[in-house]
Structure 1
């Protein structure tokens, strides 16, 4: 979970009366509003909004204030500190995909449509306020692939989920070309060992994989469908000495390759549907990032998806999702904007 998603989730869990706030009048959002959390934590509303959008990293003192404002227990407090200060390897990757100040300013000035910046493997690097509100129901809001395949909200939010999932797999395969380590289509992952991806053991399709290579395929030798496996078959294909059913990534090409391998491994271990799609020679589907959504607060939204490559930052893209003027979806975006305030 990203820091912004954590903050949104936990402020929705705090009732205003628990925080000593006046509850008079109709409230449009569950839990606390952004400005209320900011007041309780002793920070400006703008700064807190940037925290939720992923544009700021809080200081230790701010984290402590947020912990008190959100009434976090010990477990949640530890998680907040971890998200606020991610591991060194993650920080290295974040630095490699920093969003420029000019692009952040453009993003924040774009108030009529959800807009966000994607990184090389569809990490969500920054959002404007409308995009943060659009994605507010997600726990895994830091990456589009996790939103689609791992997040419980994904199946309801993406109304044409199957087409969106197929398009996401196509997009992830295309990302391998950026790494320069081969292709995603039908090939190999030369260092896709489970221990490299998710520790020494993982779960695939109801069966435990003790060692081997995972995704949608061959695990060294043997069979995996349901059941216990040390080295075996995964129902959707082959991963032998590094097959991930589709995709070729050899070892030793740095942070990008490791990030891609880890993401594919995480999705493969956690999502049977991803494994099946990843095993297909070429999943069909033309919808990129979805166009038809169901938001829990404003209902159905039909939005265009416009994608603009950022020439100053290869691999980054600005995604804008406007509604047709004077449509019901345009009215819903206006309502969403009031909820985000």
Structure 2
């Protein structure tokens, strides 16, 4: 009733007997179901997969030298470049120090579900896990030509009951979008709360430059300073 469609039409949509809903109907359903922008875009992708432009995956593994130099110049903020699979393609020394000692740190989703230490490293592990699964759902719709995505889903499904349960919820979202605050517990410097900001690498589809910063004058900033000092010592 709220979407302005009949019960019969909505039933046919749910059962897959109506395969070509209009954009107006999809937008109305998204509004009634209170979907956010990422989930709404995903709904349109599901309904019209052939009419939506597929995103190229060529070149997403390479990070240009300008971005690398920029990251390396930041000695006060962990930074990394990730792709749509949340593979870590490049990172500065401070980000290496932040994730030191953790397994599967080349991919943030594997790290979250396959390394037991991740539950201590992420004090808000449940939220981290949900956000990353939602990101993976969205990536599957946007990058249909990437065979590594379904392989990653299969690998995690076989290895983690937590992943299987969260995958079945079918949440859709963008892990790197907007400003996010995340908490960490580093085994050497203790608790940190860092503000994340993501910047799209415009000339390469799917790449995001993720920068983490602590609030000036906060205990978290002191922890980052200690982390930088430890990193210099190790180097």
TM-score scaled to structure 1, two decimals? 0.48
Q: CA RMSD in A?
A: 2.2
Give the corresponding residue for 1:144. Answer: 108
- CA–CA separation in structure 2 for the residues paired with 1:304 and 1:159: 15
Hey, what's the Cα distance between the residues in 1 that align with 2:175 and 2:64?
30
Say which of 199, 202, 205 aligns to 1:311. Answer: 202
Give the Cα–Cα distance (whole angstroms) in 2 for the partners of residues 104 and 287 of structure 1. 19
* Partner in structure 1 of residue 82 of structure 2: 118
Question: Does 2:218 align with 1:337?
Answer: no
Secondary structure of the 1:291 match is strand
> Normalising by structure 2, what TM-score?
0.69
Tell me what 1:260 maps to: 149
Match of 1:156 among 90, 97, 120: 120
Deviation at 1:259, TM superposition (A): 0.5
Q: Deviations over 1:263-310 (max 9, x none)?
A: 111111111000000011337998978600100000000000111111
Q: CA contact under 8 A between 2:176 and 2:198: conserved in structure 1? A: no
Q: What stretches of structure 1 of length at least 5 have no aligned partner? A: 1-92, 182-252
Distance across 2 between alignment mates of 1:282 and 1:129? 33
Q: Which has the higher contact order (CA 8 A, sep 6+)?
A: 2
| Residue 158 of structure 2 is aligned to residue 269 of structure 1 | yes
Unaligned runs of 5+ in 2: 1-56
Number of residue pairs matched? 174
Taking structure 1 as reference, are residues 96 and 319 closer, same or farther at Cα in structure 2, changes over 3 Å only? Answer: closer
CA displacement 1:135-159 (0-9 Å, x = unmatched): 0021111000011111122111010
Aligned to 1:294: 185
After superposition, the C-alpha distances for 1:235-261 in whole angstroms (9 at most, x for unaligned) are: xxxxxxxxxxxxxxxxxx3xx2x1101
Provide the rounded CA distance (Å) in 1 between the counterparts of 2:159 and 2:197. 30
1:165 aligns with 2:56: no
User: Corresponding residue for 1:321?
Assistant: 212
